[in-house]
Each structure stands twice: as C-alpha cells, then as structure tokens.
Structure 1
Amino acid sequence: MSTLYLLNKPFHTLSQFTDDQGRATLADVIDVPDIYAAGRLDYDSEGLLLLTDDGALIQRISDPRHKQPKTYWVQVEGSADAAALRALREGLVLNDGPTRPAQVRLIAPPAIPPRDPPIRERRQRPTSWLELTLREGRNRQVRRMTAQVGLPTLRLVRAAIGAWRIDGLGPGEWRRETLHAPVPSGRQRPRPTRRKRS
C-alpha cells in the first residue's frame, strides 16, 4: 500500500521544495514532509504533479518504459487548422529527433481559473485550445511541437498522468490517494482518502 499526493501546481512554481533564488516552490503549496515529485513540470507550466514518499512508486510512474500517458490542455496563439493537427498526430522532427505521434484534438476552453498573471494576448491574433496526449517526456516538448506547427504555446496545463487527473483541484490544491496495488501502466483507479486546500 502506497500513498500518492495529487497536486495542481500553480504557474511559476518550481517542481521542488527548495530554491536558492527565492522562487516559489512546492513547500509553498503542500505541507507534507518527506515526499518527492514523480517527474517534473516546468516552472512556467501548470497542472498535475504526483508526489509520494515511495521511491519504487516514483520510479514506476516516471520511468518512460512504463509509458504513462500525459495529457495537456494547451492554449496556443493562432487558429489550429486540420494541417497543424495532422502534423502533431503524425509526429514531428525536433532538434533532438523525431517525436512519437501525439493524440490531439481541438477543445473548448477548459473550466479552469484564469492564470495569475494572465497570458499576453494580441488583439489581432485568435487563440485556440488543444488537448494533447504524449507518451514521451522530452524537455519542453509540448511547447516545441506547437511552435513547429506555427502555434506558439501561451498557456500549458497538465490535466492528467495516466488515470490521475486534476479534476476538482484548483491551483495550489491537493488531495491524497491510497494505492492498494502496483501501478499497471497508468490504468489503476486509485481511492481518494483526503483532500486539502492550501
């Protein structure tokens, strides 16, 4: 049995508990001792981060061999047309090699709070929202992929890792779930036991 903490990481918060430059860290939003993040989420990205004190569980979740799909809500600058979506679905060649095909679809703006601070929008440029799912995790991959198809990322929110989702969690909120069996490639549905607000 393991305990997992689901945190909705706010914008401009590091995926670690300390920082020598005075930036916001996980210590500002979750007060559970001796837990660590299973993977990372960029400082300028928001959304789901999984934490636990179980080293084997961290390895199981974050190891690329286990192919935990990660789903993102991505607000991009410009109108996402069929050609851009097709290119993302087929896979792109980035400067560190070809990507795997992504699952992607155009979505309505998700029901999430506005970002603080808000994104910078240009009056003459529309924006679009995409739901994009990857089974790999390169550095700033989503941003690089959308930029390559002419859709710069304005806001990036990780909505899910495997079966775990940020549903019901506002920025800086978290909940605890108890796992009663090993994580089988992201398909186990964990049991919620407690919810906290910062």
Structure 2
Amino acid sequence: MARLILFNKPFGVLSQFTDRGSPTVRATLSDFIDVKGVYPAGRLDRDSEGLLLLCDDGRLQARIADPRFKLPKTYWVQTEGIPQEQDLERLRAGVRLKDGMTLPAVVDRMEAPALWPRDPPIRERKSVRDGWLRITIREGRNRQVRRMTAAVGLPTLRLVRWSIGDWTLDGIAPGQIKETPA
C-alpha cells in the first residue's frame, strides 16, 4: 500500500529535500520530514505556504502532480486591493499570461481566514486595502495563481494552498505532517 503524507509547508521552505549549489542555507523538506522513501508530488514555491503531498508510489505521484489528470488545487489568496466582480469574472473565464491562456478557474471572495501568523509577516499599507480569494485551478503552471491575480491588477500578498483533490490542510499546523491512506 502506498504511503501518502500531507505536509503544511511553511513560508520560505523549498519543496525539495536538498538545496544543492545555493550559496546561502535555505530550509528544505529534510528540516521537517524524517520519513524515508517519500518524494513530493508536485511543488509549492518557496514563498507560498500550505499543502504539499509526498508519497512513495510513482503512479500516485503522477496522478497527483501531472496536469493531465486535472486534480483540483484550491488556494487561499490574499490580494493587494479589493477584488471586484469584473476581476473575478476575468479569472473565472481564464487569463492571458505570457505562456498562453489559463483554463477557467473557480473563484470566490472569502473572509480573511483564521491562519497561523506568517514569518515574516505580510506588509500592511494603510493606503491600500487587501482582500481574500478562494481560487481553484486544474493546471499547474509555474507561479500560476500569482501571475493570474497580477494579470487582473491584484498582486498576491500571501498564497496558501488549502487543498489538492480531497486532501486538505485541516488540522495540520505549519511544519507538521499527517500520514493518511492513499
């Protein structure tokens, strides 16, 4: 039976077990996960937080990470600026990025979630309000959600991947893992 580990990746941690060739020491998965034989199914940028799945089965890893399988990934996104209905409609229809049109996304406004504090904290500007979106995509382009929100004039301040398919962060603190049946 395949092993599947849910990990709440903190901000600033690389989605890999080693950091070869970097002149500075950066946190990696090996600083948090002491389980042999598991590998990330996909990735999450260093400046993003949230759910990262790791497994020991290549087929399962491909099913989770490969965009051909269109597994939904839901993100909680703090934006600089208050999202307006026309911004949501553009995201829902698909946005033109440098590498082409994105697929339509499921997008809704949300109240600021009760999340753990981020280190370092998000900068606050008194003159610019922020908002929160719940965005679900079925692709996996590099920095896609950040590029999508920027394309509609709402730069991302904080990005937390809340779920992949039916797996969620619910009950998993930052830097913690939870093993679950695959």
TM-score range, shorter chain: over 0.9
Provide the secondary structure at the position in 2 that maps to 1:124.
coil
Q: How far apart in 2 are the matches of 1:141 and 1:46?
A: 14
Q: Quick check: 1:91 aligned with 2:94? A: yes
1:13 paired with 2:13, answer yes
Tell me the SS of whatever aligns to 2:45: coil
- Distance between the aligned counterparts of 2:117 and 2:110, measured in 1? 17
Quote the offset at 1:121 in angstroms: 1.6
Within 2, Cα distance between the matches of 1:61 and 1:153? 25
Runs of 4+ off more than 4 Å: none
Structure 1 position 129 matched with structure 2 position 128: no
Find the partner of 1:27 among 27, 30, 54: 30
Aligned equivalents of 1:92 and 1:61: distance in 2? 24
Q: What's 1:45 paired with? A: 48
Inter-partner Cα distance in structure 1 for 2:5 and 2:140: 21
Distance 1:82 1:10 in 2: 31
Task: Decide which of 162, 171, 174 is 1:168's aligned counterpart.
Answer: 171
Equivalent residues in 2 for 1:46-61, closer than 5 Å: 46-61=49-64
2:121 is the alignment partner of 1:145: no
1:78 corresponds, among 78, 81, 88, to 81
CA displacement 1:2-39 (0-9 Å, x = unmatched): 11000000000000001133100001111111210000
Letter in 2 for 1:29: F
Unmatched segments (≥5 aa) in structure 2: none
Q: Alignment partner of 1:136: what SS? A: coil
Distance 1:75 1:170 in 2: 19
Identity of aligned residues (%): 61
Structure 1 residue matching 2:158: 3-state secondary structure: strand
Say which SS state the counterpart of residue 158 (structure 1) adopts.
strand
Runs of 5+ consecutive residues of structure 1 not aligned to the other structure: 180-198
Q: Deviations over 1:108-136 (max 9, x none)?
A: 11121111110112111000010000010
**Length, aligned pairs only:** 179
The code of the aligned residue for 1:37 comes to: P
Counterpart-to-counterpart distance in 2, 1:59 and 1:82: 36
Deviation at residue 93 of structure 1 after TM alignment: 0.8
Task: Name the TM-score, length of structure 1 as normaliser.
Answer: 0.88
Cα deviation code 1:13-67 (max 9, x no counterpart) = 0000011331000011111112100000001000000001111211111111111
